[in-house]
Amino acid sequence: MWTVCLFPLGLLLYQYQVDSLGVNPIDHVTRTLGDWTLSILLASLSMTPFRLLFGISWQMSLRRLLGLFAFFYACLHFLVWIVLDHFFDWEQMITDVLKRPYITVGVLALTLLVPLAATSTTRMVKRLGGHNWRKLHKLVYVVGVLAVLHYLWLAKKGINGPYWYAVVLAILLGIRLWDWARRVAKRMATRAGAGVIAPVSARHWGLVGHRREARPSGVERTPR
């Protein structure tokens, strides 16, 4: 997995070395890093749906690594925009963030990835507690939606790549929604069953109690 995730970065370095980044090197590097950021992010989101659909769980150990690589490529994507696109022109960058929706959602997605990456260690899981950690890391679904929107709003007409990413994300979120609805329905059915059984049981024991013979305390029952 390390080899697969580092391959695009190695390829970019090789293309730079042999001067084959194309007529617009900055655009090529920016798009390549953005594509791999979204691809790896969706791969990390697919680990749980695979477990839900096929009952396999070995891939769950890769989820953290994939999430960190997605953050790594998102940071590189952002650095290219800062250093090469604008050369630290902070005023222009702030203007772009406020005026261009695709940049706004892209920066927001990166901002939300920061606490997820910072709390990805086992030590942070213990400090936050499993319940709080899981609630925090549900932000990854928001990040996925924002990242797809960033690509959709950025892409030019006639380019279908962003729509395929949107379809994959919709399928992954649909599987999670289906699993959530199934668990809710199961809990409701269990509660409904318990609500029917409990009153019957109570009435049964009440009737049994009324059938008992009352006798004074301390008086033994005469044998027949």
Q: Which of 74-83, 163-172, 185-194 has the lowest mean pLDDT?
A: 185-194
Residue range 124-138: average pLDDT? Answer: 92
pLDDT band per the 50, 70, 90 thresholds, residue 22? confident
pLDDT band per the 50, 70, 90 thresholds, residue 195? low
pLDDT band per the 50, 70, 90 thresholds, residue 66? very high
| pLDDT for the residue 155 | 81
pLDDT band per the 50, 70, 90 thresholds, residue 202? very low
HSE-CB at 87 with a 13 A cutoff on CA atoms is: 0
The DSSP annotation for the chain comes to -HHHHHHHHHHHHHHHHTT-S-S-HHHHHHHHHHHHHHHHHHHHHTHHHHHHHH---GGGGGHHHHHHHHHHHHHHHHHHIIIIISTT-HHHHHHHHHH-HHHHHHHHHHHHHHHHHHT-SHHHHHHH-HHHHHHHHTHHHHHHHHHHHHHHHHSPTT--HHHHHHHHHHHHHHHHHHHHHHHHHHHHHHHHHHHHHHHHHHHHHHHHHHHSPP--TTPPPPP-
CA distances (Å), origin 224, targets 59, 188, 214, 221: 73, 52, 17, 9
Residue range 72-93: average pLDDT? Answer: 93
Q: Which of 76, 147, 67 is nearest to 107 (CA)?
A: 147
**Rounded percentage of the chain residues whose pLDDT exceeds 90:** 71
Does the pLDDT value for residue 211 go beyond 50? no
The tokens describing 118, both together, are 């910072």
With respect to residue 180, please indicate whether it lies within any of the assigned structural domains.
no
Does the pLDDT value for residue 162 go beyond 90? no
pTM: 0.82
With respect to residue 214, please indicate whether it lies within any of the assigned structural domains.
no
CA 206 to CA 102: how far, in whole Å?
68
With respect to residue 91, please indicate whether it lies within any of the assigned structural domains.
yes
With respect to residue 192, please indicate whether it lies within any of the assigned structural domains.
no
Residue range 86-115: average pLDDT? Answer: 93
Residue range 76-87: average pLDDT? Answer: 93
Does the pLDDT value for residue 224 go beyond 60? no
With respect to residue 33, please indicate whether it lies within any of the assigned structural domains.
yes
| pLDDT for the residue 192 | 83
Does the pLDDT value for residue 126 go beyond 60? yes
pLDDT band per the 50, 70, 90 thresholds, residue 199? low
- Give the domain extent around 43: 2-171
Cβ count near 102 (within 10 Å): 15
With respect to residue 97, please indicate whether it lies within any of the assigned structural domains.
yes
With respect to residue 207, please indicate whether it lies within any of the assigned structural domains.
no
With respect to residue 149, please indicate whether it lies within any of the assigned structural domains.
yes
Per-chain mean pLDDT for the chain: 87
For the chain, the domain total comes to 1
| pLDDT for the residue 206 | 52
Residue range 163-180: average pLDDT? Answer: 94
Q: Which of 50-54, 151-155, 220-224 has the lowest mean pLDDT?
A: 220-224
| pLDDT for the residue 110 | 95
